[in-house]
Amino acid sequence: MSYPVRSAERVGGQVLQLFHNTGHAMFMLLEATWFIQFSFGKRSRHETVTQLYITGIKSLAVISVVAMFTGMILALQTGLELRRWGQEEFIGSAVAVTMIREMGPFMTGLIIAASVGSAIAAQLGTMTVSEEIAALEVMSINPNRFLVMPRLVALTLMMPILAVYTNILGILGGAIVGTTQLGVSLTSYMNNATEFATNKDLYVGLFKAFIFGIIITTVSCHQGFMTSEGAVGVGKATRRSVIISFLVILVVGYMITRMFYL
């Protein structure tokens, strides 16, 4: 077989595999969504609450630090520029609008993809290579209900809440820098922050966070289920889940912004 034919065959095979994987991920998501009605039923309650705890409570520390510093950096960078024009009292609005519209959901998405998403991929990947997923199937326990659905509920519920938390801490971080280093009064900062940020900004931000929750669950669970090659495969699946989640979050985040603001 000639080189061009072999190359075409390889590319074709990869494209088909991509479609197959996407189809598998979509089917998994649809089935898990259908099972949400049982999320707090007797069989799934414990796992759902555990996942809510892991996503919501265990991520708080890292989210707090990142959110606070994101707000502080935003305030410092915009403040220094605005000071050149004598407009530093507008730091509040710059930080609030940027955090609520973009940075809050975006930073939350990245942190959760890197912490919770990678953990999901690693756990499900390990379960796959150690035949635990096969054992569930043989016991006629649907892995999409047993494993995916509780994680989907946890991430879609917690992501908007965590995004609001990130927004608040980011704005507070900005206030600290604004008042201590740029000479803006707290009242002026807060007035500006509340005056320019609209309800629409908040809703769009929350919508983004919700969508990011779906993306992280789908990507990380799917990568976990697709794991092969033992421990090396688990590492690969974990890395892939973080990279794919980051990329999809970036692209989808841009598309949502374009949809609501252009």
Partner 1 sequence: MIRFENVTKVLGRRAVLDDISFEVGEGETFVIVGLSGAGKSVTLKHMIRLMLPDSGSVIIEGEEINHLGRRALQEVRSKFGVLFQSAALLQWMSVCDNVALPLREHTKMPEAEIISQVNEKLELLGLGDAGDKYPSDISGGMQKRAGLARAIIMNPKIVLYDEPTSGLDPVTSRRIDDLIVNMREQLGITSVVVTHDLHSALAIGSRIMMLHEGRIVENATPEGFIKSKNETVQSFLASQYITKKGKWEELIHE
Query: What percent helix, strand, coil does the chain show, rounded to 5?
Result: 90, 0, 10
By beta-carbon proximity to partner 1, the closer residue of 100 and 237 is 237
Instruction: Tell me if 141 contacts partner 1 by CB under 8 A.
Output: yes
From candidates 131, 200, 243, 255, binder to partner 1 by CB under 8 A: 131
Nearer to partner 1, 20 or 200 (CB): 20
d(CA 184, CA 207): 32
| 137 lies in the binding site for partner 1 (CB under 8 A) | yes
Nearer to partner 1 among residue 134 and residue 250 (C-beta): 134
Q: Interface residues for partner 1 in 32-51 (CB under 8 A)?
A: 43
Which of 65, 135, 231, 251 is the binder for partner 1 (CB under 8 A)?
Answer: 135
User: Residue 138, interface with partner 1 (CB under 8 A)?
Assistant: yes
In angstroms, the CA 224 to CA 85 distance is 52
Q: Does 140 bind partner 1 (CB under 8 A)?
A: yes
Nearest to 107 by CA among 77, 73, 138, 83: 73
Alpha helices in 35-88 (DSSP H): 45-56, 60-84
Q: Which amino acid is at 124?
A: L
Closest of 156, 150, 127, 124 to residue 220, by C-alpha: 124
Q: Is 139 in the site for partner 1 (CB under 8 A)?
A: yes
| Those residues with Cβ within 8 angstroms of residue 137's Cβ, 6 or more apart along the chain or in another chain | 143
Residue pair 125/227 in contact by the 8 Å Cβ criterion: yes
**Rounded CA separation 232/228 (Å):** 8
Shortest reach from residue 184's CB to partner 1, in Å:
50
Among 36, 97, 102, 132, binds partner 1 (CB under 8 A): 132
Q: How many residues bind partner 1 (CB under 8 A)?
A: 12
Site string for partner 1, 68-107 (x = CB under 8 A): ----------------------------------------
Q: In this complex, which beta carbon is closest to partner 1, that of residue 42 or of residue 84?
A: 42
Whether residue 71 contacts residue 26, with contact meaning beta carbons closer than 8 Å, is answered with no
Q: Which residues bind partner 1 (CB under 8 A)?
A: 43, 127, 130-132, 134-135, 137-141
